[in-house]
Structure formats: structure tokens, C-alpha cells
Structure 1
Amino acid sequence: MTAAAELVGADVDPEAGRSDAQIIASSLHEPEDFAAVYGRHARTVHRYAYRRVGPEHAEDVVAETFVAAFRRRATYDLARPDARAWLLGIATREISQLRRAEATRYRAMARVGTARPEDNLADRATTDVAARAAGGALGTALAGLRPGDRDVLLLWAWGDLSYEEIATTLEIKKGTVRSRLHRARRLVRAALPGGLWDVEEDGR
């Protein structure tokens, strides 16, 4: 188990009655309150970072994400009760500083030809066995995407964000999200064997 996972291993939320927005607001006066936001979302951020840059960098991304979030908490939109999309957006910007490490991870996937089931983008459209067999093609496809297209695709697939959340997170128009996602999915679908990604966008 990773250090980040251990820190949030006990699924007990002492702030269960308050939204993330309420906790962030109170943390402006009581900074220690922000720890509850970490407790709720560190695992999600770690999983997202792990998939994109691997174990060598994932924990650094988590640490930098929450440091940056703490520093920027006064700018958080308190109309958004759930901070998950905001945090994943910060993580995405941190990952953008690690493009070389991310590309290396995808090239490694391409060489090995397999990946653990939870690390497979294709698992939305097929069984784990088939997805694992597609790992090589998937790594090549992801490495070949434009960075902006890859960010949108992975926030959608691995971050489980809606189009609107991605648009807000990346500060782009919702139509841009749609076009980038469509282009990225078309390229990934074409690269995977046997039409492993023949699913329609779900309109999130």
C-alpha cells in the first residue's frame, strides 16, 4: 500500500455533515480543517496520477496538488460543493510538468503489451482480459495524443468528470471539451484491436 493510500485508509470522515465547499470556507480561518479535503480526495487524486505517470511520480503529484490547493483555497468557487473536479484539474496541471515521465509510462505500456486492469482506459468498453491484451496499443495511442486532447480524455475516463466539469477545470469551452474528446476517442478507438472502444460518449 502506498503512503498516500495509508493516510486515507480508514474511511472515516469526521466532516461527513459538511460539503467540501463548507470545509474549504472554514479552512480560511481554521487552516487545519483543510485536512478533511485531503482525507476525502487523496485516494482519487493518487489513482488518477498513478495511471498517468506511474508509481515513481504519483505521490509527488498528490503532494504538490494538495499544497497548491491549500494555497489557492481562497479562490475556490464556493458554489461548487464537491472539490473533486477542482483537485483533478490541479493534478492535471502538475502532471503537465511531467510530460516526459508520462510519455515514458505509455511507451513502457506499449513495449510490455499489458497493463493492470485498473490502469486500462479500455476497460470502459470491454472485459479486463481483452483490455489487458490491448495494453500495448493503448500505450502507443495515448503517447501519440496532443497533450490537451489527452488531458480531456483522461479527466473523462479516469477522473470520471462531466463535460461541464472538465470545461471548468481546464478553463475551456464545453464545445472544446466535446471536440477534443471526440478526436481523442476516435484516435484511441482506431488504435485498439478489434474495435475495443466502440462505445458512444455518454454525454456526461
Structure 2
Amino acid sequence: MLPDRELNRRDRESTGVSTDRDIIAESLTDPAVFGLLFQRHSGPVSRYAVKRLGVDEAQDIVSETFATAFRQRARFDRSREDAGPWLFGIATNLIRKQRGVEARALRALEVSRAAFIGDVDSGPALVDRLDAERELGALASTIRDLTARDRDTLLLYAWADLDYKGVAQALGVPIGTVRSRLNRVRRKLTAAAAEAGIHKQTTTKTEGARDGRVGEGAQSAL
């Protein structure tokens, strides 16, 4: 199977479309082209929704996210090439209406202390990932008790893997607001980690580290 990057390249070559912005613009006159946006972004949006709500509810969120995006495509900010933050923002608004479901998912994570292992197959990387997820489980109750705004900001950064700018675009807030929210959340998580007995040295991701998708331990998982 070809990697997503290669599939996207072939999509662009076959259609003459080079960016998400171009796809959306072309879809205004040729709605079928919008399907390319689904091909590019449905995987990441689905993984994000699964982590927040579980598999069953996530399917509905993904479907409604792209249905909403299609209806609102004329309003997309064409100064942006990447539609990812926009789509994650739509998904987050829909997830926010499922607070009870998300609370149950976080309680399940807290009980299991290991979930969302991803695509890592074996070896030390798997061990590190399992450690991080177990630690995340220990902090799930703290995440559940965050305000909706703080929780959305945190989980877009952690589970949608957006940088500060992307989170700001998804939520429609200034980057400074994202920074202040994440700083506040990190303080709460650090205190909760200490109370839970998580003493492992960790490296908190910065904006620069996020560019390289670098992170270790519970704090870096968040």
C-alpha cells in the first residue's frame, strides 16, 4: 500500500490540484472534487475522534464533520492552504456536544491505563509508548475535570497533533490564548502527575519540538 504522502501526490498529479485550498475552491463548481479532502484528512480526524469518544461515536463525528465542511466550504478562509485545522475545529465543536460520551471514554482510559497504541509494532518504541499511555491514564480524571475550552485546546494539541498556530485556527482564538491555556493545563497535569506518583523525568514538547513530532513520557504525550 502506498503511504498517504504518495497517494496525495498522485491525487494532485491526476487532478491538477495542489493544496486543500485549491480542492475547496474547485469543489464550488465541481462538488465531486471535495472527496479528495476526505481522502487526505479523514484518517487523522477519525483517530482524533476515536481517542476522544471511542470507535462507535467517532464514526458519526467523522461523517458529520465532512458533511458540515462540505456545506460550509464557501466560507473556508482561502488565505490558508491546509484545511486540517478547520476540519479539526468542526470535529471539536461536534465532540463538545457529546460531553457525556467523552467523560465515559476518559473514565475508561483511566481504568485501562493503556489505550490508543497506534501503529507501533514492537521494540523499545512500543515500551515507551505504553509507558506514556499508562501515565496518560493516570491523568485522565484531571483531563476530564478541565474546562471545555482547556480540554479542547489540550487534546487538539496532543491528539490532533497540531502546533500552536493550528490549534488557534481550529478554535478561532489567538495563538497567545492557546499558549496561556496550555501553560495552565500543564501546571495542573504536573501537579496531578506528582500526586499520582509519576516521577519519571519528562520532556515537555515545545512548538519547535512539535515541528519534529518529538516527545517523551506523559507530559510529552500531552
Q: What TM-score comes out, normalization by structure 2 length?
A: 0.78
Corresponding position: 1:12 with 2:16: no
Are the equivalent residues in 2 in contact too, given 1:189–1:196 (CA < 8 A)?
A: no
Distance 1:190 1:49 in 2: 27
Identity among equivalent positions (%) equals: 40
Letter in 1 for 2:103: A
SS of equivalent to 1:16? helix
Distance 1:183 1:196 in 2: 21
Distance 1:75 1:129 in 2: 41
SS of equivalent to 1:134? helix
- Please state how far the C-alpha of 1:162 moved relative to its aligned partner: 1.9
Instruction: Count residues with an aligned counterpart.
Output: 191
Pairwise CA RMSD? 2.4
Letter in 1 for 2:87: L
Are the equivalent residues in 2 in contact too, given 1:189–1:197 (CA < 8 A)?
A: no
Distance 2:171 2:116 in 1: 28
Q: What is the aligned partner in structure 1 of residue 198 from structure 2?
A: 194
Distance 2:86 2:201 in 1: 28
Which stretch shifts more, 63-72 or 134-143?
134-143
**Alpha-carbon displacement from aligned partner over 1:154-175 (angstroms, at most 9, x marks no partner):** 1111112121222222111221
Distance 1:116 1:30 in 2: 37
Letter in 1 for 2:60: D
Corresponding position: 1:77 with 2:77: yes
- Please state how far the C-alpha of 1:138 moved relative to its aligned partner: 2.5
Distance 2:207 2:133 in 1: 26
Are the equivalent residues in 1 in contact too, given 2:114–2:130 (CA < 8 A)?
A: no
Q: What is the aligned partner in structure 2 of residue 5 from structure 1?
A: none
Are the equivalent residues in 2 in contact too, given 1:115–1:135 (CA < 8 A)?
A: no
Change (3 A) 1:159 1:45: same
Letter in 1 for 2:142: A
- Please state how far the C-alpha of 1:141 moved relative to its aligned partner: 2.0
Distance 2:20 2:116 in 1: 32
Change (3 A) 1:20 1:99: same
- Please state how far the C-alpha of 1:77 moved relative to its aligned partner: 1.1
Distance 2:151 2:87 in 1: 17
Distance 1:132 1:82 in 2: 29
Matches within 5 A, 1:23-38: 23-38=23-38
Are the equivalent residues in 2 in contact too, given 1:117–1:131 (CA < 8 A)?
A: no
- Please state how far the C-alpha of 1:82 moved relative to its aligned partner: 1.0
Letter in 1 for 2:110: A
- Please state how far the C-alpha of 1:196 moved relative to its aligned partner: 4.9
**Alpha-carbon displacement from aligned partner over 1:76-113 (angstroms, at most 9, x marks no partner):** 11121111111011110010111110011101112233
Are the equivalent residues in 2 in contact too, given 1:110–1:139 (CA < 8 A)?
A: yes
- Please state how far the C-alpha of 1:128 moved relative to its aligned partner: 1.9
Are the equivalent residues in 1 in contact too, given 2:135–2:198 (CA < 8 A)?
A: no
Q: What is the aligned partner in structure 1 of residue 160 from structure 2?
A: 159
Distance 1:27 1:68 in 2: 14
- Please state how far the C-alpha of 1:190 moved relative to its aligned partner: 2.5
Structure 2 residue runs of 5 or longer lacking an equivalent are 120-126, 209-222
Distance 1:178 1:115 in 2: 27
